[in-house]
């Protein structure tokens, strides 16, 4: 029994060790990619519920490196956060997304912001510098924030959000409906939009009360005058429900997957380009 116990501990230890080595290797590759401005940005259309025309895009970071291949953001974003690389990554995505937007007609662009970035006092200044350099109307940019930082660092988050709103930038609460974000928080932080998490939409297919939950979530935000985007819309049935319950904007594979800047241009904006 003693031997077995020790064996288990050794196995557990080495699995942890292996994991740490993998993370360190990924961190090194990620650092290299960032230094060469090699993070790519894909764009997913946001469509107006009323007429299904495109009103904006969400910018989503993409990373592939030759030894590792394509690494999903759910994997590399947490690594960047732990390694102190997320500020650099986030600004690189923002810069590229703003640059792309300058070449497009009057659509908005949504960019994800890590909670770690919001804790940096200089963040709003960096955003301002990027907007000024591109000469773009700040109102075209919306920054998407998840609720974690509102709970863990409310004062810091309020300061950052107030500064961003002062620039004329929009602020959205991302992944709404999955955690503890309350009515009080929607008010206090004065969000311009909420993005209803895709799990609430996916639940329509499997859970009995899902329709009522989605309806109430949308109604709550709308009652506070906040624009509602529903994400993860994959089927006509889901789109029908979201639209019936009054969401303003929809996003999901039903309309389009995220795509490269070139593809975005070709599929949506060629007619506009003169
Ligand atoms: P998110 O901000 O909630 O982004 C939406 C995710 O849902 C994206 O995954 C998108 O590709 C995916 N999606 C869109 N439509 C559908 C659909 O109809 N069905 C399903 N099942 N999924 C759909 P992606 O691109 O893999 O990104 C995952 C997460 O990584 C993002 O979730 C966001 O939290 C994070 N992320 C991505 N880019 C950045 C970035 O530049 N900065 C930061 N801080 N986080 C980012
Ligand atoms: Ca998002
Ligand atoms: Ca989301
Ligand atoms: Ca998310």
**What is the per-residue pLDDT across 167-206, written as a single tens digit (0 to 9) for each?**
999 999 999 988 887 888 899 999 999 999 999 999 998 9
Q: Which of 231, 251, 253 to mutate to test the pocket of ligand 1 (most atoms within 8 A of CB)?
A: 231
Is the distance from CB of 233 to CB of 250 less than 8 angstroms?
yes
Termini Cα distance of the chain: 77
Q: Is the pLDDT of residue 124 over 90?
A: yes
Is the distance from CB of 181 to CB of 211 less than 8 angstroms?
no
Beta-sheet pairing, 108-113 with 54-65: parallel
Q: Which of 42, 44, 73, 118 to mutate to test the pocket of ligand 1 (most atoms within 8 A of CB)?
A: 73
Question: What gap in Å lies between CA 215 and CA 217, rounded to an integer?
Answer: 6
Q: How confident is the model at residue 12 (pLDDT cuts 50, 70, 90)?
A: low
Partners of residue 41 on adjacent β-strands: 61
Q: What is the pLDDT of residue 8?
A: 56
Question: What gap in Å lies between CA 224 and CA 219, rounded to an integer?
Answer: 9
For residue 82, the CA-to-ligand 2 centroid distance in Å is 20
* Closest among 158, 157, 115, 112 to 251, alpha carbons compared: 112
Q: Is the pLDDT of residue 140 over 70?
A: yes
* Number of residues in the chain: 274
For the chain, the average pLDDT equals: 92
For residue 17, the CA-to-ligand 2 centroid distance in Å is 32
Q: What is the pLDDT of residue 209?
A: 94
Q: What is the pLDDT of residue 16?
A: 86
Partners of residue 62 on adjacent β-strands: 40
Q: How confident is the model at residue 109 (pLDDT cuts 50, 70, 90)?
A: very high
Q: What is the pLDDT of residue 1?
A: 43
pLDDT digits (tens, 9 = 90+) for 49-106: 999 999 999 999 999 988 889 999 999 999 999 999 999 999 999 999 999 999 999 8
For residue 36, the CA-to-ligand 4 centroid distance in Å is 26
231, 234, 236, 261: which is the annotated catalytic residue?
231
- 58 part of the active site: no
Ligand 1 nearest-atom number relative to CA 197? 3
Residue 90 Cβ inside 6 Å of ligand 1? The answer reads yes
Q: How confident is the model at residue 161 (pLDDT cuts 50, 70, 90)?
A: very high
Is the distance from CB of 210 to CB of 204 less than 8 angstroms?
yes
Q: What is the pLDDT of residue 10?
A: 56
Question: What gap in Å lies between CA 255 and CA 247, rounded to an integer?
Answer: 15
CB contact set of 214 (below 8 Å; sequence gap of 6+): 196, 200, 201, 203, 204, 230, 241, 242, 245
Query: The tokens of 22 are what?
Result: 């993998």
Q: How confident is the model at residue 274 (pLDDT cuts 50, 70, 90)?
A: very low
Q: How confident is the model at residue 4 (pLDDT cuts 50, 70, 90)?
A: low
Ligand nearest to the CA of 242: 1
């Amino acid at each position: 029994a003693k031997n077995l116990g020790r064996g288990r501990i050794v196995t557990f230890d080495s699995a942890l060790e292996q994991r740490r080595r993998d993370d360190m290797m990924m961190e090194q590759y990620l650092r290299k990619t960032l230094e060469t401005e090699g993070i790519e940005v894909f764009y997913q259309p946001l469509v107006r519920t009323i007429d299904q025309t495109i009103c904006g895009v969400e910018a989503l970071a993409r990373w592939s490196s030759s030894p590792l291949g394509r690494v999903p953001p759910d994997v590399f974003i947490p690594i960047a956060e732990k390694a102190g690389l997320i500020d650099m990554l986030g600004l690189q995505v923002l810069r590229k997304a703003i640059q792309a937007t300058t070449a497009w007609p009057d659509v908005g662009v949504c960019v994800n912001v890590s909670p770690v970035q919001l804790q940096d006092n200089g963040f709003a200044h960096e955003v301002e510098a990027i907007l000024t350099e591109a000469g773009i109307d700040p109102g075209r940019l919306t920054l998407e924030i998840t609720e974690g930082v509102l709970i863990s660092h409310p004062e810091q988050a309020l300061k950052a959000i107030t500064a961003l709103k002062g620039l004329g930038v929009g602020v959205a609460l991302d992944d709404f409906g999955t955690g503890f974000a309350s009515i009080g928080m929607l008010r206090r932080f004065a969000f311009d939009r909420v993005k209803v998490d895709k799990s609430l939409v996916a639940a329509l297919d499997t859970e009995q009360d899902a329709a009522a939950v989605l309806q109430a979530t949308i109604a709550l935000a709308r009652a506070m005058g906040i624009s509602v985007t529903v994400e993860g819309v994959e089927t006509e049935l889901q789109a029908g429900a979201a639209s019936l319950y009054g969401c303003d904007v929809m996003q999901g594979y039903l309309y389009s997957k995220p795509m490269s800047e070139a593809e975005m241009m070709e599929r949506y904006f060629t007619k506009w380009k003169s």
